[in-house]
Chain A
Amino acid sequence: MSKLREELRLQWKGIKLSKVISGKYYILCEIMSELLPQIAAYTSAYFSGRVITALSEKLPFAVPLRYALLAVSSVLVIWVIRRLFMRQTMIMRRSRYFRREAMLTGKALSLDFAQAESAEVAALLSRVEDNSDLFMGISSQAWQVSKIIANVLSVVIAVSMSSGMVMSKSEAELHGILKVVDSPVFGIMFALFVLVLIFLSIVANDAAVKRRFKAHESRGKVNALWKYYYDRVLNESGSGEDIRIYHEKPLIYEEMRERVFGAVRRIHSVFLHTDTTFGMVSTIVTAVLGGTVYLFVGLKALSGAFGAGKVVEYYAVLSQMILSFTTIAREIGLLRSNSIHLKEDISFFELESKMQNGTRTAADINTDKLEFEFHNVSFRYPETEPLVLHDFSFRIRSGERLAVVGRNGSGKSTMIKLLCRLYDPSEGYITLNGIDIREFEYSEYLKLFGIVFQDFNLLSFSIAENVACSTRYEADKVWNCLEMAGLGERVEKMPKNINQCVTKLYEEDGIDLSGGEAQKLAIARALYKDAPFVILDEPTAALDPKSESEIYARFDEMSGGRTAVYISHRMSSCRFCDRIAVFKDGTAVEEGTHEELLALGAEYSQLWNAQAQHYTDSSL
């Protein structure tokens, strides 16, 4: 019982969500679109029956014609109403994919970074996307519900129109078969026969739907792989080079053969098998019932229970009723199998931010003095074993320019992620001016940082939007920041200046930037934010010597009175920072000035010499 209640609650949630995804009156429109043609069939059956009756009674021309007029005009009126509903339905159905996409986008954007990056959420998201593509879950639920409602209503109408028929009796004296036909037992037997066949069809349908759904699910995996190839391997001009130079085609074919083609064939042979076994039952039942109903109605009429007009009417009503029954059976089966996908969809849309969000506001932060401190912080990425930071204690002083160096994987970039709370430490804590950073309101806290990540990403929107991170921006300020990042001249030469889009993925006339230009744009973005704390993570990796030296020279200007952290494999960057921290295996092993650390002769001097020798040793 509680299971049923839970199921109903789930369906109800789905319906509420579908109002957002498909539109407020979606269900009503679907019901009307499904029900009205059936009502038209009933009115038409009723009046055309009257036409036949009038004809067999040989009434004058005007009488049958009047009924004929009623038959066709009622159909016209109902269909016109249905068309109006259908227009809305079609718009809602077709835009649903996009609305849903918009909702998914909104939800994805509202997730915590840790959530967005977790494999669990990624898996859920991909299932939800599959649901959308394969018309499962929330997309189909409301449709199924409306079909069930409409057809139940239709059955009610049909039963009330034809109930008199089963028990109807003839007034004439009957013999043989017709006497049997006339008895009420025959009517009941017939009704039972119909019900048994319909039941059979329901059972077969249920089995068919279950099998189909199971096969459908494994389609999701294939689709994800398929999409990856299209979106990343074939779609970006970047991979086109490697595919050609390395003759990757046979490999990609092998991968597709192994992981796609076989699976697709397997899945569809399940469909075929189901369609030709369980799926056939309802086809046969419908066809057999079609004939049987005629037989029954015909025999009844032959016995004199009613006239030829009623034959036409009853047949039309009964066959519509059988159709409705089969639809109900099918849709209930679909609805039941769909509920697992509905659950996935709903649980995605119900994901809540897990991040502890404090209450301290901007007023609690003294931006003139920003002192961050890591207290015995240890950290491992979710679902992984190794500690990336290990009992890490470290202080960043207000207003200093700090260089952070260390080997690949020593924890430099991870420190940044913890600092801006993309992750929270596994152990230990971080303070700002002595206050645990988790106590600040997150959106306010984030305003402190201007960060250029090592693996930064630009969007294919306009330059100005990329710099301001908003559709509304101050053009002068954008120009200033571009200028400061050393990109001003380049943008001035673009036909649309700051309104020029980056890459052609969003606008046809977008301009591709080189790696170095992109980096400068990312720096301009950090500058525009005017944050008191600037972090540059490997900002010159893709820059030519001239741009690199420009960035170095501007670093002073850019950092102004701000606190600045500069992470780089370019050891030269250490020369213009106040202090250097050397990371190794997840802890800060050395701290001090260039001279101090070089004199120490340990990790730092190794790093330094590995690079400096090529510039200083003329014998090389």
Chain B
Amino acid sequence: MKKKEKGSYGYLSNLRYIVTEQWRYSKAYIIAAVIYSPMDAIAAVIASFLPKIVLDCIEDQTDALQLITRVGSATLLFVAAKVLSGFLNAYCNNKRLVTEFCYWQPKLYEKAMDMDYHNFVFNSTRVKREKARDSLQKGNGTDMYIEINIRMFSAFFGFSAFTAIIVQCNVWFIPVLIACYSLSAVGWKLLQKFRDKLKDTRAAAILRMRYVSFRSKDFSEAKDIRVYGMQPMLEEKTQTHLSEVTELLKRENTGHLYNVLLEDVLKFGISLGAYAYLIYLKLNTDMSIGDFALYFGAITGFGEWLSRLVDMFSELLEGTHYVSDYRSFLDLKDTMRKTGGISLPSDDELPCKIEFKNVSFSYKEAEKATIEDFSLTVNPGERVAIVGENGAGKSTLVKLLCGLLLPQRGQILINGKDSRDFNRDDYYRLFATVFQTVNILPASVAKNIALCEEDKIDRALLEKCMRLANIYDKVQSLPDKENTLMVHEIHEGGVSFSGGEQQRLLLARALYKSYAPILILDEPTAALDPIAENDLYRQYSTFATGKTSFYISHRLSSTRFCDRIILVENGKIAESGTHNELMEKDGKYADLFRLQSRYYEEVEE
């Protein structure tokens, strides 16, 4: 399977991919790069003829003017080639870096934001994502691919030009030189294999090291670290991973050393051979000193071009892997419907009726199904409370409903239509949610609530929602009111909210998405004080008017204002009914309620 995957991204396929994408983003880069590629070779050829020109003049004892003319014109050509190459090189660098930040990286981000959520949370996806990102941080990765190709072509031009010079002297040099350098190429190939073998180990060690240092520097961790004296543990882990990484580096570099030493010995042999042959020629034929210098320079220089060619070739091999890493993340297949799909319920079909039909779901790693054969019908406009122990599957249920996770068996119906028949992104429009994790963007407060572009923010609605969520006064007290930027670590003068304020912000978010016919609040009062909590309860019916709603909470008091209570246990419905019904039934719910209300009720006695 894995081999097949790799096979589908060969050199040509990757080159075509990168060039097409690059062409889409900036044509000028590719054109400049193509013109740039022979420049180095041209400059090098001129440079290698310079000594011949000078030495020939001296041997022939030409007059000074002739020497000046010849050397002067060669120099002019040389300067011109250098300048052109300098300009093009700077231009290509510029384009390459801009493309990396404004095209390659965003593409990665887009994929991470766009892929099916159930794929996104898989660990294997995380690894692929890391690899794809890594591929942009190498000297020969995705963003450098055109660059390395150009360097390889450049090396090829140089190689050809020098071959042409050497052939004038003796054609047999070429196969001999190539044979020598292929020997070293074998070495590099072996090293490459060795590196590939270590790649994953190294990536894992680096990932761990990064984790430890990220958490150690992260100020949200600072309290626990200090009060519990965790510094020695974190230091120890850092040192362990550091020595792991260093050990790997040592091994890699030892391999590298053997290869370069082999190359040095080869170069020694080639230079000595070239000297011996050329000295012999010079003494026994009428070859000029100038030719001697030209050929010798070409033969030793040939090695440089050849090894550049070989180097670039192996860089290219490695780079091809990186491009494959990049593409294999981008090419991860989504299973949900992203085009077409049936239309969302129209206004007169709202609020929605929701049905779970024998839904089963298990996270891949878990042995046991989190949700098992779960069936439930929620009537239009019904307010449902979901209660149950930690880990009973409440949050999973909600994620299944929202289309973030896909049931392995059974189906979820919205107004009788299978949720899978909707367009995935349209389907999300049905839901306004407050999940338990708090995610604040480093953008303005207004954008954090509206979660849309600046010019699309409905200011009146925004104000209304801030008031409803009881955060209006707080926001008004900020220096730039709702335009104040959030996250003070990123923006100077940025604001950071307390736990209670964050929870209100999240509520405002959900309210702002007023068009969504299904409201889901997952533990929205955990950080609120009793009075704020009570306020929310009282307002809840306003929030939920005209919507089908789900309220998940451990505060059983909150279930009193819902139409129906669902007690979830081990991924199944254990009990269902109104508060009074369930209390009368005197089952598990009644037990739980008594457990929690005990402390409050004693007062009444």
Contact = CB atoms under 8 A, between A and B. Distances in A.
Given A280-B86, A455-B223, A606-B531, 11 more contacts: A64-B275, A72-B272, A101-B213, A245-B402, A294-B75, A295-B71, A408-B498, A408-B500, A504-B126, A549-B596, A572-B600
B417 interface: no
B599 interface: yes
B79 A610 contact: no
A68 interface: yes
B529 A109 contact: no
A434 interface: no
Instruction: Give the 10 A-B CB pairs with smallest separation, nearest first.
Output: A291-B75, A614-B557, A516-B390, A572-B599, A238-B437, A68-B275, A275-B90, A615-B597, A408-B500, A177-B64
A366 interface: no
B435 A76 contact: no
Contact of B257 (A87, A228, A455): A87
Interface stretch (B178-186, B235-243, B344-352): B235-243
Contacts of A308: 55, 58-59, 289
A224 B217 CA distance: 14
* Interface hub of B123, B452, B592, B600 (most chain A Cβ within 10 A): B600
B547 to A, nearest CB: 15
B527 A256 contact: no
B534 A119 contact: no
Contact of A95 (B63, B98, B245): B245
B233 A245 contact: no
Nearest to A110: B231
A98 B264 contact: no
Given A246-B451, A264-B101, A422-B223, A469 B230 contact: yes
B79 A291 contact: yes
Nearest to B106: A256
Contacts of A87: 253-254, 256-257
A608 B75 CA distance: 92
B283 interface: yes
Given A117-B222, A126-B489, A232-B439, A615 B554 contact: no
A451 B245 contact: no
Interface stretch (B107-115, B147-155, B169-177, B319-327): B107-115
A160 interface: no
Interface stretch (B156-164, B191-199, B406-414, B425-433): B425-433
A84 to B, nearest CB: 7
B51 A544 contact: no
Interface in B428-447: 428-429, 431-433, 435-437, 439, 441-443, 447
A108 B218 CA distance: 9
A380 B102 CA distance: 43
B389 interface: yes
Interface stretch (B204-212, B304-312, B570-578): B204-212
Contact of B51 (A76, A113, A312, A504): A312
Contact of A245 (B109, B120, B428, B558): B428
A222 B272 CA distance: 54
Contacts of B501: 408
A276 B279 contact: no
Interface stretch (A12-20, A48-56, A189-197, A337-345): A48-56
A243 B113 contact: yes
A614 B79 contact: no
A465 B76 CA distance: 70
B123 A122 contact: no
B279 A51 contact: yes
A574 B241 CA distance: 47
A241 interface: yes
Given A408-B500, A451-B227, A457-B221, A284 B94 contact: no
Contacts of B604: 616
B225 interface: yes
A94 interface: yes
A272 interface: yes
Contact of B428 (A244, A514, A594): A244
A104 interface: yes
Interface in A304-344: 308, 311-312, 315
B249 A238 contact: no
A558 interface: no
Contact of B109 (A80, A234, A272): A234
13 contacts: A83-B264, A90-B253, A102-B209, A181-B64, A241-B399, A286-B82, A297-B54, A311-B51, A456-B223, A545-B595, A545-B596, A569-B528, A613-B534
B15 interface: no
A275 B93 contact: yes
A345 B63 CA distance: 61
Given A237-B121, A245-B433, A99 B530 contact: no
Contacts of B98: 264-265, 268
B114 A249 contact: yes
Contact of B219 (A117, A177, A407): A117
B64 A176 contact: yes
A541 B526 contact: yes
B230 to A, nearest CB: 5
Interface string B70-113: 01101110110011001100110110011001100110011011
Interface string A462-483: 0001000111000000000000
Contacts of A176: 63-64
B72 A291 contact: yes
Interface in B34-75: 47, 50-51, 53-55, 57-59, 61-65, 67-68, 71-72, 74-75
A358 interface: no
A125 B217 contact: yes
Interface in A236-271: 236-256, 260-261, 264-265, 268-269, 271
Given A76-B265, A122-B489, A275-B93, A284 B433 contact: no
A308 B57 CA distance: 10
A422 B356 CA distance: 50
Contact of B597 (A52, A233, A616): A616
* Interface hub of B211, B554, B556 (most chain A Cβ within 10 A): B554
B601 interface: yes
B389 A546 contact: yes
A256 B228 CA distance: 39
Given A83-B261, A105-B235, A245-B428, A272 B223 contact: no
Contacts of A543: 390, 554
Given A504-B126, A571-B530, A234 B113 contact: yes
Interface in A588-620: 594, 598, 606-608, 610-616, 620
Nearest to B98: A268
A576 B602 CA distance: 12
Contacts of A116: 219, 222
A276 B82 CA distance: 12
Given A294-B50, A610-B530, A228 B208 contact: no
* Interface hub of B72, B451, B509, B604 (most chain A Cβ within 10 A): B451
Given A456-B224, A569-B530, A64 B113 contact: no
A187 interface: no
Interface string B239-279: 10110011001100110110011001101100110011001
A314 to B, nearest CB: 11
A102 B242 contact: yes
A68 B268 CA distance: 11
B187 to A, nearest CB: 13
Contact of B217 (A104, A230, A459, A542): A104
A408 B528 contact: yes
A290 B593 CA distance: 91
Contacts of A90: 249, 253, 256
B141 interface: no
B55 A311 contact: yes
A106 B235 contact: yes
B303 interface: no
Interface string B390-403: 11100100010010
A234 B107 CA distance: 13
B199 to A, nearest CB: 14
